[in-house]
Amino acid sequence: MIEIQALTQRFRSGNSTVEAVRNVDLSIRPGEIFGIIGRSGAGKSTLVRTINLLSRPSSGRVILDGEDMTTLPAAALRAARRRIGMIFQHFNLLSSRTVYDNIALPLELAGLCKTGIAGKVEPLLELVGLTDLQDRYPAQISGGQKQRVGIARALANDPKVLLSDEATSALDPETTRAILELLRRINRELGLTIVLITHQMEVIKMICDRVAVMEAGQVIEQGDVLDVFRAPRHAVTRALIGDVIAHELPKGVLERLRARLAGTAAETGPASNAGHLFRFAFTGSSGAQPAR
């Protein structure tokens, strides 16, 4: 579906050049939810904006459905962008337009008549659960509802790809879960390929099929989410995963356990396993079953 080949993005800063993205190769499969994670400044948002050429790369290729986006003339590029929807961290809604009219905006720009617009907007309102709020303005709805408007607007032109740039970063945990559940449902029901940018490993854990980890403009690790969580290879990945899964016990707890285990080992003898602390990891469906 999406092939990113040897992609580099440079920016001029005074007399120097900054490489925000350096020689990145990624292959994103049709119908999957692909996560790109990294700390602030890692280059992930710059990378995702090259997919629809909001930011034209300095070198490299972005191939969507076999078509090299970087070689398209302006008119063909505008048409190709209709296949790519995008949602943003701060919603980017027009305050003077209602929920309905914000979703209708890209359809108006595409030249659809009012009947055609209604035929697309009304099902989208139902999909994101905002039918009863269609006449409200952005100032009258919550952050989570604003993001639902943004999602519906991104789906208005029937895209094949949905880009999500930190779409849940401004939301509370409960609302974040609801938005991620909506994205997963859209992925399943519409067969949409989703590229999700985040700095939160919890988001990757909840929704993504595969993940790429970025640092200093480069992809330092990528693979199935389960494999990356189970055996992270890079220190940055281990640190990000540590926010979700504690691989090391807190120092105070570890000291108490060591003292208790040492006492138990002294009573039972050195040949037993009483002086050891074992950590077991369960994957797949077995993770929900009791250990025996």
**Tens of pLDDT, residues 182-231:** 999 999 999 999 999 998 888 998 999 999 999 999 999 999 998 898 88
Question: How far apart are alpha carbons 206 and 187 in whole angstroms?
Answer: 14
Are 57 and 117 in a shared domain? yes
247 DSSP assignment: -
Q: Residue 280: is its pLDDT beyond 60?
A: yes
Distance, CA of 35 to chain centre: 4
The tokens of 182 are what? 């909506």
The angle at the Cα of 84, spanning 215 to 209, to the nearest 5 degrees, equals 50
What integer is the mean pLDDT of 68-72?
92
Residue burial 122-133, b: 16+ Cβ < 10 Å; e: rest: eebbebbebeeb
Q: Residue 169: is its pLDDT beyond 90?
A: no
Q: Which domain holds residue 167?
A: 2-242
What integer is the mean pLDDT of 240-247?
69
Return the bridge partners of 161, or none: 84, 193
Are 98 and 175 in a shared domain? yes
Q: Where are the alpha helices (DSSP H) in 99-234?
A: 99-109, 114-127, 143-155, 173-190, 201-207, 225-230
Are 90 and 107 in a shared domain? yes
AA letter at 264: T
> What per-residue confidence (pLDDT) applies to 98?
97
Q: Residue 244: is its pLDDT beyond 90?
A: no
Are 59 and 162 in a shared domain? yes
Q: pTM of whole model > 0.85?
A: no
Question: How far apart are alpha carbons 60 and 50 in whole angstroms?
Answer: 10
Are 143 and 278 in a shared domain? no
Are 160 and 205 in a shared domain? yes
1 pLDDT tier (thresholds 50, 70, 90):
confident
Are 186 and 67 in a shared domain? yes
240 pLDDT tier (thresholds 50, 70, 90):
confident
Are 223 and 274 in a shared domain? no
> What per-residue confidence (pLDDT) applies to 285?
56
Bigger pLDDT: 287 or 133?
133
90 pLDDT tier (thresholds 50, 70, 90):
confident
Question: How far apart are alpha carbons 98 and 132 in whole angstroms?
Answer: 12
Per-range mean pLDDT, top range of 52-61, 65-74, 132-141, 261-270: 132-141
The CATH number of the domain holding residue 107 is 3.40.50.300
Question: How far apart are alpha carbons 192 and 207 in whole angstroms?
Answer: 14
Are 280 and 180 in a shared domain? no
> What per-residue confidence (pLDDT) applies to 288?
62
Bigger pLDDT: 280 or 179?
179
Q: Residue 30: is its pLDDT beyond 70?
A: yes
Q: Residue 237: is its pLDDT beyond 60?
A: yes
The tokens of 141 are what? 């709805």
Of 162, 165, 130, 124, which is closest to residue 146 (Cα–Cα)? 130
Q: Residue 264: is its pLDDT beyond 90?
A: no
Are 181 and 225 in a shared domain? yes
Number of domains within the chain: 2
Q: Residue 83: is its pLDDT beyond 60?
A: yes
What integer is the mean pLDDT of 271-275?
55
What integer is the mean pLDDT of 151-163?
95
Burial class (CB in 10 A: 0-12, 13-18, 19+), 39: middle
Are 103 and 143 in a shared domain? yes
Are 264 and 178 in a shared domain? no
180 pLDDT tier (thresholds 50, 70, 90):
very high
Burial class (CB in 10 A: 0-12, 13-18, 19+), 55: middle
Q: Which of 32-41, 90-99, 119-128, 226-235 has the lowest mean pLDDT?
A: 226-235
